[in-house]
Amino acid sequence: MPELLLIRHAETDFNRQLRFQGHLDAPLNANGLAQAARLADRLADEPIDLIVASDLQRAMQTAEPLAARRRLALRPDARWREQAFGTLEGLDVPTVRATMPELWARVLRQDPDDAPPGGEPRRTFFDRVWGALRELAQAHRDARIAVVTHGGVLDMVWRGVSGQPLTSARSCEIPNTGVNVLRPADEAAGGFVILRWADAAHLDGMAVPPIHYPVGKASAARVESAA
């Protein structure tokens, strides 16, 4: 039976500035590079057979130290990208609220079939994530697989397993380089069961972003999913 270690990428400057990243290809900042090194140390002795990553730079840079440490090839896969936010990408919440009030009101409505111009509806995003997750588990039935991806992707996984609707705000913590472990289960559990979630003990003592919105607020859910 496979196990999947789903890992959010390390920190970028956009994370610190609370900007929507989406498909923008932002690199890790200095703190993020240090987080990626700690992640590689943390997983140095865990069994891992395959490493997959979103093809965006911040995910690849997070996965590279782990792949080098384990002497495993790194497999990029665009299906593990963050949700596309279209015209919101690169902007922070105060800017969107001040200059695009109608669009911000749409964001707060949490309509899973709506998206900013050029963006990806949440329902489409959810289907993409779960298609990639199920295919990976089915293709590697006896493997332990590490996947480095994004906050929004992990939110979709959490919703699918917990049964949380797509119309609500995020309800789970998703720290940078947090390790989340899943195992296939029956369909009543969304097809997977969560064994571990938001495990970021390897970051103890490191700097954290200076601004943090409480989990559950609509603005926080959208900003954090832009990672």
Write out the catalytic residue numbers. 9, 82
Q: What does the alpha-carbon distance between residue 168 and residue 54 come to, in Å, rounded to a whole number?
A: 25
Q: What does the alpha-carbon distance between residue 157 and residue 47 come to, in Å, rounded to a whole number?
A: 22
DSSP letters along 11-39, please?
-BHHHHHTB--TT--PPB-HHHHHHHHHH
| Sheet containing strand 179-184, strands side by side | 74-76, 50-53, 144-149, 3-8, 179-184, 192-199
Nearest to 161 by CA among 139, 138, 181: 181
- The continuous run of DSSP H or E covering 65 comes out as helix 57-70
